Structure 1
């Protein structure tokens, strides 16, 4: 499958819903913004870089959510322009840590990985969830990673640790907020075929003097294999988000959903 499948969308499903998706200008985050917007949501998103040409969320805030100041800027914008949020999707995340295992991870690297992959969600939740609680309704989705269960020791110890903490935090939050009318779930993607992932495949293929299909298979082998034979498309992650954010999932709460093509080999 070289292109993502097209899904039928109800243009009224999220009509009137105010949605914030962090990290929503690239990859799965961009697909989530596009999917919820197509279903009628009023969308807000954030990124460190400027809004790319051709994207048109209702609200965009350029901010670094790994910092307290960046979170404060986003909170001021969405409360000022939208008055609150009905659906909060924490999609921002990533790792810039070098290879070399635990010894290569400095204090600053640990701080950066935890700030982006854990504390960005914690800080935004702390600022925005009181408004959901006051209304007695809302949905929060934390995007974790299968690496919380399958950490790659060479380069992603800090990232995997932060995502594991995010999943645990999400479960604890669900215990508190469920009785108050706010649903909380998490999503753990495996390898997603984004533009960045395709660029990585090309670099590996060029470096090894092979073709991109071989390089892509090499990555899947390093993950222990993907039984369906391919990474997930961003649009498939967005469909899972749309389902969990919708009234169709009204009784799903405190759960984590893998979307990894079967990569995690255990129950």
Structure 2
């Protein structure tokens, strides 16, 4: 039986762990490997690691870094950044990573989803959809750290990605990234109702109450966050944190029972 998952998302920029606001102004917050070790100790459900440089710079994944992260990680690990073909995805899985995330490459050439699924299995293919609100209403899909707009509806693209073989969809709100103001619950419900694979939402979580609200309003989903798990307090002091098992279980139970 599927259960809600609470998932830290780590961004790698120029080799360091960073956090952005609105996909801009990356702030250095530490070493990615040290963060992985801490999340191991805190028994995180899963971990998402995204290299935000690779696609923009047109380079392939840093397999040495991925191997190091996978060797340290004791929870399911999803890696994304720079993956453009099935051979790269297969190599990443061979390093001990459970899931491979693709975004820009999947939008530019949707058949890549099917190619990677055929190579590593649909359960290991994650399509990340970065979304931004349009001035006249609705949302649009963006890539390259939010700089490149595509005339795609995120709900329709999520459905197409699943049809082509994606085993999971991650929806990342550019508008709410780093704001800690809560998830876009309306969009989350639309996406959740449109597909029949696991869906994870990222962007806006500022408290455990925001995660509880997402699960209560949308159901069994993945609740991912960056700032919530790397900052602490009003002044956003850097502190890697994650709810202890008892707190997490009580929160999930309360949300599902509501």
TM range (shorter): 0.3 to 0.5
Higher helix share: 1
What TM-score does the superposition give when structure 2 sets the normalisation length? 0.36
Q: Which has the larger radius of gyration?
A: 1
